[in-house]
Structure 1
Amino acid sequence: MTETLNDFHVLRPGLHAGRSAFITGAGSGIGRGIALRLLGLGMDVFGTGRRPEALAETADLAAGLPGTFRHAPCNVRETEAIEALVRQVGEAHGIDLLVNNAGGQFFAPATGISRRGWDAVIDVNLSAIFVVTKAAYPYLKARQGAVVNISLSGVDRGSMGIAHSIAARAGVLGLMRTLALEWASDRISLNCIGPGAVITEGLAGEAAQAMLDQLVKATPMGRPTQVDEVAELVAFLASPAGKLMTGQLIQIDGAAHLGSGLHMLAA
């Protein structure tokens, strides 16, 4: 397929119409923001997450948008269930875009992380991404699709207090770059986005103001990353303009990964 210059206007109405996205962790925060942005651009979105009520809230917010939002609860750590769900969606609607957004971690020094805690974080942030991406492969191949993994700012330099999460996400970076090579002939692009401090509804409701102030102070541009900014970047990577970008870690963090950065906050 040869694109014309007009195909490279990311925000052009209808650019994503008729295309299908599969998003994990779509019930809140960044995942919800990505889902709503893609729906607004006319893409049909299937969202999954652990909490049915959160997915229902996303569906309410999606009412009236051009795209269709379908959803079903599923824990990405349950391998057989998530593989079956990917196959169900892929067979029924196809998959043009896979967004691996689901993740989780807890803060502790490396010496305070148990093997059980280590395994849980590695499972959700690395192993589940391998499982979901592999399951989506035949449908991505059929559509010459894209994979976007939501990671962290500074994942390539380490971060104090989350050794398990950084190890997992560094693993995703290596996996993504390997698949970018293996799947290049299939015209599948794979990239990672590393947001800086993103103040979601949940974090704003739980975190002390002092912590929020720290996050902003550690960002040279002096403000957190907005959910909408991450969603816009996903839309770009799913558009013809982003098609040749693959194997990249794109850090949208106001230069936090270049300075003392978010990675030092747990010191």
Structure 2
Amino acid sequence: MGYGSILRDGCFAGEIHVVTGGGSGIGRCVAHELASLGAQVVIIGRRQEKLDRVLAEIAEDGGKAEAYAFDIRDEGAVKTAIAAIVGRHGRIHGLINNAGGQFPAPLAAISKKGFEAVVANNLTGGFLMMRETYLQSMQMHGGAIVNMAADMWRGMPGMAHSGAARAGMVNLTKSAAYEWAPAGVRVNCVAPGWIASSGMDTYDGSTRALIPQLGKHVPIGRIGSEAEVSGVICFLLSPAASFVTGITVPIDGGAPLGSALFPIGKGRGVAPFDGFHRATTPQVLSGDDA
């Protein structure tokens, strides 16, 4: 059984798509879907061993992928890697700025170093990837970029550093979409809510204890799947979205829409889209979390 994408077979055939944070979680899922649709995928991450596991999976499924291990916060490393990719393949058709990370902490307890590290992970690194991909490829050939934000529309208490960075990415997306449109470049963003991915297992303590309860706060009645994020990303990269640029698509089950004046009801909800044939349930959601 292969990836169950709703997009047509081969719709990215012959194209080069770069996925940051491709060694796990949503990035891994996006890499699989793109490869299943014919793309030559380039996954990027900091740990070679994680990237190698995804490369092996994609190869086993009959797809094409390669990997570059570096830190997207390193400007020199970004320039070198993009030059290598363009030198090898001629151009880059799509960039998925998925890499990021944060840690839970109240705002008053976040140090300057911690704040800057999270902003670098979730905003500055993405900017560097966008800029170099544009300068070295898309300025001449066009292309599509999809950035990653989050459900931060009502603030992000407990992760204010991440909320600030993600809000910055939404605005950066708009600016880039306007400035780069004459070169045939579309720039969009997705804002996932609570998604069942490996990233959930990186949290501990009180944050980890809350994760199994998150679905109760979503009108649709559950948390999302990686494939539900990947499907939107791949649509935004596709020719079907050729008149779509500068937007941010929330993928959150309606979680930000609630009000204490109108409590969430109980009902059937909406069944998940489980297109990713290699998806695994995070341990924190498996029911046997230690």
TM over 0.5: yes
Matches within 5 A, 1:70-109: 70-93=66-89, 94-109=91-106
**C-alpha deviation, 1:185, in angstroms:** 1.0
**Cα pair 1:38 1:235 within 8 Å, conserved:** yes
Instruction: Give the aligned CA root-mean-square deviation in angstroms.
Output: 1.9
Answer yes or no: is 1:37 the counterpart of 2:36. Answer: no
Out of 153, 161, 166, which is 2:158 matched to?
161
| Cα distance in 1 between the residues matched to 2:52 and 2:9 | 26
| Cα distance in 2 between the residues matched to 1:145 and 1:260 | 40
2:7 maps to what in 1?
11
Matches within 5 A, 1:25-174: 25-93=21-89, 94-138=91-135, 139-153=137-151, 155-174=152-171
Gaps spanning 5+ residues in structure 1: where?
1-8, 262-267
Aligned-partner residue type, residue 154 of structure 2: R
**Counterparts in 2 of 1:10 and 1:227: CA distance versus 1, 3 Å:** closer
TM-score (norm 2): 0.82
Deviations 1:94-115 (A, max 9, x none): 1110011110111111100000
SS in structure 2 of the partner of residue 57 of structure 1 = helix
Aligned-residue identity in percent: 38
TM-score (norm 1): 0.89
Answer yes or no: is 1:182 the counterpart of 2:185. Answer: no
Q: Which moved more, 1:35-44 or 1:163-172?
A: 163-172
Tell me the number of residue pairs that the alignment of Structure 1 and Structure 2 aligns.
252
Q: Which moved more, 1:36-45 or 1:178-187?
A: 178-187
| Cα distance in 2 between the residues matched to 1:57 and 1:104 | 20
Deviations 1:40-71 (A, max 9, x none): 00001111101111101101110144541000
Aligned-partner residue type, residue 23 of structure 1: V
Q: Which moved more, 1:76-85 or 1:95-104?
A: 76-85
SS in structure 2 of the partner of residue 69 of structure 1 = strand
| Cα distance in 1 between the residues matched to 2:57 and 2:228 | 18
1:264 maps to what in 2?
none
SS in structure 2 of the partner of residue 189 of structure 1 = strand
SS in structure 2 of the partner of residue 183 of structure 1 = helix
| Cα distance in 2 between the residues matched to 1:20 and 1:63 | 16
**C-alpha deviation, 1:187, in angstroms:** 1.7
| Cα distance in 2 between the residues matched to 1:129 and 1:218 | 30
| Cα distance in 1 between the residues matched to 2:228 and 2:139 | 28
SS in structure 2 of the partner of residue 146 of structure 1 = strand
Deviations 1:170-203 (A, max 9, x none): 1111111011110111121111101111121352
